[in-house]
Amino acid sequence: MSNLSYAVVGSGAIGGYYGGKLAHAGQEVHFLLHSDYAQALQQGLRVDSVDGNFCLQKPNIYRSTEDMPQADVVLVGLKTVNNHLLPQLLRPLLKADTHIVLIQNGMDMEADLSEVLPHQPIIGAMAFICSNKVRPAHIRHLDYGALTLGCHQWVDERKLSLIADDFTAAGISVSMDPDLHTARWKKLVWNIPYNGLTVVLGSTTDQLMNHPQSRTLVRQLMEEVIRAAQTCGAQIDSDFADQMMSNTDQMKPYKPSMLLDFEHHRPMEVDYMYDRPIRRAAAHGAAMPLTQMLAWQLRFTESKNQTAP
């Protein structure tokens, strides 16, 4: 393990899992917690994982980033609906060379953050993982877990290598992608169909895959995303959908993060996951009619969900 210190902003299903793995392996990790603080203080941070359960009995936890030490690396696991809070949350944690790792779904998060932190090193991270928070300070990791890291700006290659080594030592498979633009589009090939369709069809991933019509719709959405990505210059082979479909066929039944947000009446990540790639594709002359229809359905469903008693 390196001597890097880590801070986790957004210590839920994603940040709690990856930060928890690092801490369990002996890395210095500090967690920002809000609603989970009291539970973590009393019982620790628990991760039930297919790779082995563990509990951090006395994690370094805080209610405010102003009380946290500055870190060498900040892992951001917040939902993108809260990204407007990042400048205020991150600044107390930052040194000149603190690397910010955005483990988030969607597109353009790195560019938006770089507008307010133009000289801070920023890394995009794509997590292919099935992980949920089942109760306060209690995460259940069901399947997968690999991370793909891509540089956005000002990244120190030596520190990037140390970060990757730390994840590897913690039992997390890590790969580097020099083309962050392509990596973000690849993740959307999975996220756009499964996150949205599980909400509007009220289903889990396995149910989508086991019904012929919904399986066809998943495939058509994937192919549309791939065509849009290729038009925007992303290097994705047309048969990439085969790989994503196969991976999901082997996946345990899963409720994606957007479905869980919907079920708990929380805002859904429609902007970064749907609106941004649709606009990006349109700017390059590519239409995404199926994705646009799904985004409109999600907006309508969300409006009803937030006004429900």
Which residues are designated catalytic? 187
**Secondary structure of the chain: what % helix, strand, coil (to 5)?**
50, 20, 30
Alpha-carbon Rg of the chain, whole angstroms? 19
Backbone angles phi, psi at 164, to 5 degrees: -60, -40
How far separated are the first and last CA of the chain, in Å rounded?
A: 49
Tokens matching residue 125: 């991270």
Under 8 Å between Cβ of 97 and 70:
no
Three-state SS string across 53-118, please? CEEECCCEEECCHHHCCCCCEEEECCCHHHHHHHHHHHHHHCCCCCEEEEECCCCCHHHHHHHHCC
| DSSP-derived 3-state class of residue 263 | helix
